[in-house]
């Protein structure tokens, strides 16, 4: 009887992990260049000009070196390694990247192994001299107490 309970519990964990990893096998929902995003915040004219002046006009478009990764679903041990591989690929292939924003608005849960993956991402980003910013656009979802530890390089 005890063996049956143990096998049942083990199979339940395996099925749950398999379902979660299939549902969210790609933790990155979208990769967006910041130049394509628009803010609803009102900014003074000087700030708007600074953010939007294209390089063709002698400016240095600050947003052209910023990429946003929109994450979704549950971020846990089964898809944390997939995210780390994709993150490494993005850092290696992006030549003009100064800032990488990880948007956790659509993430409902994050476990401790995924948090340690984020610490690895911070170390990797510092190695490439890329600022890593974690944001959460809503008050729902997981608590972002550790966000304050992710600074620019």
Domains of the chain from N-terminus onward: 25-149 (3.30.750.24)
Residue 31's SS3 state is: strand
The backbone region for 150, taken as left when phi is positive above 0, alpha when psi lies in -120 to 50, beta otherwise, is beta
Question: What DSSP string runs through 51-89?
Answer: HH--GGGT---GGGGEEEEEEEEEE-HHHHHHHHHHHHH
Do residues 68 and 37 lie in contact, with contact meaning Cβ atoms separated by under 8 Å?
Answer: yes
Cα angle value 135/136/142 (rounded, 5°): 120
Q: Supply 85's token pair.
A: 């591989």
Contacts of residue 65, defined as CB under 8 A and 6 or more positions apart, other chains included, come to: 96, 97, 98, 99
pLDDT digit of tens for each residue in the chain (153 aa)? 688 888 888 888 777 776 665 556 678 888 888 777 777 777 788 777 766 666 555 555 777 788 888 888 777 777 888 888 999 999 998 878 888 888 888 887 888 888 888 889 989 998 988 888 888 766 554 454 444 344 444
Residues 132, 147: Cα–Cα separation, whole Å: 10
């Amino acid at each position: 009887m005890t063996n049956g309970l143990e096998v049942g519990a083990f199979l339940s964990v395996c099925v749950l992990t398999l379902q979660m990893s299939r549902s969210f096998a790609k933790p990155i929902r979208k990769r967006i260049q910041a130049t394509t995003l628009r803010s609803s915040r009102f900014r003074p004219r000087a700030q708007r000009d600074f953010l939007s002046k294209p390089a063709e006009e002698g400016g240095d478009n600050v947003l052209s070196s910023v990429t946003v990764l929109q994450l979704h679903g549950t971020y846990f041990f089964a898809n944390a390694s997939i995210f780390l591989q994709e993150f490494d690929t993005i850092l290696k292939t992006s030549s003009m990247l100064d800032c990488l924003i990880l948007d956790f608005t659509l993430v409902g849960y994050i476990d401790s192994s995924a948090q340690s993956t984020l610490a690895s991402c911070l170390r990797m980003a510092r190695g490439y001299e890329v600022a890593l910013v974690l944001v959460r656009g809503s008050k729902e979802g997981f608590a972002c107490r550790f966000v304050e530890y992710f600074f620019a390089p």
